[in-house]
Amino acid sequence: MSDSLYAQLVGLSGGVLLLSAVLIVWRRSISAEVRLLAVQGGALAGLVTVLGVNEGSTELLVVAGLVLTLKVVVLPGLLSRAVARHGASLHEETPLINTTTSLIALSLLTMLAFLVSRPLLVLGDDPAIAAVPIGIALVLYGFLVLATRRHAFSQLIGFLVLDNGIGTVAFLTAGGIPLVVELGASLDLLLVVLILQVLTARIRSEFGDADLDDLTELRD
């Protein structure tokens, strides 16, 4: 792969990652957010493929397949099934900040991401390293969603955006982590999502929909 093509492809997948995250913050409809999450997973898998082809590493290509299966097929599939069970028009009704404010927060977080990524630029002047701030930005966006949305599903989506961000940083800086850790981390992620889904189902079946929006029984 030529250098300029490589740089363009890394830039393209990074751009899709960032754009899909911005759209997730913008949208309120949870089923739309789940579709965007699948797009984001696809961009991450594409990024891993590009890196794998560039380094000629079969291990990375295997990992790309794993990422594709998990983040494009399995997790969005699980989520959309759960959302469908709640009815098609599931919305985040009461976020703590409105859409305009959250988009302004996004731009500030993006700047912050570039600022905090500066120590990472010592790793070289590869296009992949230059794209690291995107991963950090995704982590911060994930935090924003987790902190400002109250519906259980929105929080789950925030967690997955955060995890995609960590994955992006991992692949860009280190060409991924050792395969055994990668497998363990993917399995853990899958199980966490399954557990959270079962918990939401239990909360809903025993106490009704409203409770997913209002987890405030326990406090001091």
Partner 1 sequence: MGLFAVLPIAFCLMLAVATSAPPLGGLRRYAGVVASAVILVSGLALVVAVLDGQTPTAVGGQLRVDALSAFMLTVVGSVGLTATWGGLQPRTGPDATASYQALVALFLGAMSLAVLADNIGVLWVAIEATTIATAFLVGYHRSRRSLEAAWKYVVLASVGVAIALLGIVLLYAATRSAGSPTLSWSQLDADRPPLDPSLVRVAAALAILGFATKAGLAPMHSWLPDAHSQAPAPVSGLMSGVLLSVAFYAILRVQAIAGPVIGPALMRGMLVTAGLLSLAVAAALTIRQRDLKRMLAYSSIEHMGLLALAAAAGGVLALSAALLHVLGHGLAKSSTFVVSGRILATEGTTSTTQIRGLLTRRPGVAAPFLVGMVALLGLPPFSLFFSEVAIVIAGVERGLTWVMAVAVVLMLVIFAGLARHTFAVMFGQRTAPGRGEAAEPADRRAHGPWIPLAVALGVTALIGFAAGPFSTILTDAAAVLGANQ
Binding pattern for the stretch 126-155 against partner 1, x by CB under 8 A and - elsewhere:
-------------x---x--x-----x--x
Please calculate the CA angle 126-24-19 and round it to the nearest 5 degrees.
35
| Structure token pair of residue 53 | 């082809």
From the CB of 100, what's the least distance to partner 1, in Å?
A: 26
Interaction residues for partner 1, span 103-122 (CB under 8 A): 116, 119-120, 122
Closer of 13 and 154 to partner 1 (Cβ): 154
CB atoms within 10 A of CB 93: 12
Spell out the long-range contacts of 188-191 with Cβ–Cβ below 8 A and sequence spacing 24 or more: 189/70, 189/75, 189/163, 190/70, 190/74, 190/75
Closer of 1 and 199 to partner 1 (Cβ): 199
Interaction residues for partner 1, span 25-84 (CB under 8 A): none
Interaction residues for partner 1, span 176-205 (CB under 8 A): 177-178, 180-181, 184-185, 188, 191-192, 195-196, 198-200, 202-203
| Structure token pair of residue 174 | 């280190």
Q: Are 51 and 126 in contact (CB under 8 A)?
A: no
CB crowding 166-180: b at 16 or more within 10 Å, else e = bbbbbbbbebbeeee
Closer of 18 and 145 to partner 1 (Cβ): 145
CB atoms within 10 A of CB 88: 9
| Site for partner 1, rule CB under 8 A | 116, 119-120, 122-124, 139, 143, 146, 152, 155-156, 159, 162-163, 166, 169-170, 173-175, 177-178, 180-181, 184-185, 188, 191-192, 195-196, 198-200, 202-203, 206-207, 211, 215, 217-218, 220
